[in-house]
Amino acid sequence: ILNVEQSPQSLHVQEGDSTNFTCSFPSSNFYALHWYRWETAKSPEALFVMTLNGDEKKKGRISATLNTKEGYSYLYIKGSQPEDSATYLCAFTVGNQFYFGTGTSLTVIP
């Protein structure tokens, strides 16, 4: 079993604040790194897939970076809105196996 760690476990931010959180994964045998957004009582929704060291992806106010050599990825949210409140999961893949972190739970306070 490969260990994928996410930090922090949870955070609360004010509407309009920017925030970021971290996903750490083993740097050997890297294939891809995924970010998912998971709202309560809904399906996890894929945000990004990144495969190359130095990759940066952006979707609206959300962006992600990848460092495969040191084994981490950052997810950034600019100008947080209440609708951004969700758990953000990362998953590291080796071959076709997904290894998930426990997620960062974000609450944006209006």
Partner 1 sequence: ETGVTQTPRHLVMGMTNKKSLKCEQHLGHNAMYWYKQSAKKPLELMFVYNFKEQTENNSVPSRFSPECPNSSHLFLHLHTLQPEDSALYLCASSQDLDSDTQYFGPGTRLTVL
Q: Quick check: helix, strand or coil at residue 110?
A: coil
CB of 77 or CB of 91, closer to partner 1: 91
CB of residue 99 to partner 1, shortest distance in Å:
8
Q: How many residues bind partner 1 (CB under 8 A)?
A: 22
**3-state secondary structure string, 43-82?**
CCEEEEEECCCCCEEEECCEEEEEECCCCEEEEEECCCCH
Q: Per rule CB under 8 A, is residue 34 in the interface with partner 1?
A: yes
Distance between CA atoms of 66 and 76, rounded to whole angstroms?
12
Identify the CA nearest to 54 among candidates 77, 72, 78. 72
The answer for 14, left when phi > 0, alpha when psi is -120 to 50, beta otherwise, is beta
Q: Per rule CB under 8 A, is residue 99 in the interface with partner 1?
A: yes
| Piece of the chain touching partner 1 by CB under 8 A; list 18-26, 53-61, 63-71, 98-106 | 98-106
Write down the residue that tokens 């997904």 correspond to.
Answer: 98
Q: Per rule CB under 8 A, is residue 62 in the interface with partner 1?
A: no
Q: Per rule CB under 8 A, is residue 96 in the interface with partner 1?
A: yes
Q: Per rule CB under 8 A, is residue 94 in the interface with partner 1?
A: no
Q: Per rule CB under 8 A, is residue 97 in the interface with partner 1?
A: yes
Q: Per rule CB under 8 A, is residue 49 in the interface with partner 1?
A: yes
